[in-house]
Amino acid sequence: MGKVITGDDPQTLVSTEWLAAHLNDPDLRIIDASYYLAEMGRDAKAEYDAAHIPGARFFDIDEISDRRSDLPHMVAPVEKFMSRMRAMGVGDGHQVVVYDGMGLFSAARVWWNFRLMGKSDVAVLNGGFPKWQAEGRPVEDMPPIIRDRHMTVQRQAHLVKDVTQVASASKLGDWQIVDARSPARFRGEEPEARANLRAGRIPNSRNVHYATLFNEDGTMKEGDALRAAFEAGGVDLDKRIITTCGSGVTAAILMLGLMRLGQEDVSLYDGSWAEWGQFEQLKVETG
């Protein structure tokens, strides 16, 4: 276990106050990583075009992904990620701040994407665009002026797990598997939105609903309160952890919280339930 992080930290979370103070820094790059499930009825790109934090670039989670996979928004190959970031003017030497329109939802997924590519100077905006707007901070509807920036990538393979590795962890118990989905979905009491997916959970997994990590204002809990959210789900913070969810988005929120608590031995199951739930040969628990 490393050091517990509280307050502003440019490698995990920063406040709206921090971002406002650094808004004109020449090496700051802001990314709007808004993403919505179909049932939310929201258009992330249209909302970005209408209003975003000044200078923000739009990161399309579904497009900047491995389109060869049948699974939703699997992490992009290194070359694709590099080319998309260069086109967005994001590269070496930049401090990146990622936000989304829900408050703290899909931004953590993009934060994890950068971490996976070896970029540590990246933070999530705590409370996201809703908090920024509620405080009356500046927004704009103009696209930023882009200048190409080279990006050097060193993929950190230990930050991601595939289905074979997760199946081994489920069987051997050498990693804790922590599921960010709602308790009803975790117990298999609620049908899955995606077609042909069984209901239930990965055997021997634990449940920490991502929403339990938040304060009432949508910011992430800190210190003892954050620790209590994980411990309430039966998680031993001294043991290594794999996070999972429906399709690898909210699993990244758990990873962000765990890193704030000093847990450095944590990995994300990219395929998550969208993958596990479709294969009949993989066991499922319910109840």
Q: Which residues are known catalytic residues? A: 245
Query: Are 220 and 193 contacting, i.e. CB atoms less than 8 angstroms apart?
Result: no
Query: Are 250 and 105 contacting, i.e. CB atoms less than 8 angstroms apart?
Result: yes
Cβ count near 224 (within 10 Å)? 11
Helical ranges in 23-106 per DSSP H: 44-50, 78-87
Query: Are 211 and 205 contacting, i.e. CB atoms less than 8 angstroms apart?
Result: no
Q: How far is CA 130 from CA 127, 136, 218, 220, in A?
A: 7, 10, 9, 14
Q: Which two tokens stand for residue 225?
A: 């309160």
The number of residues making up the chain comes to 287
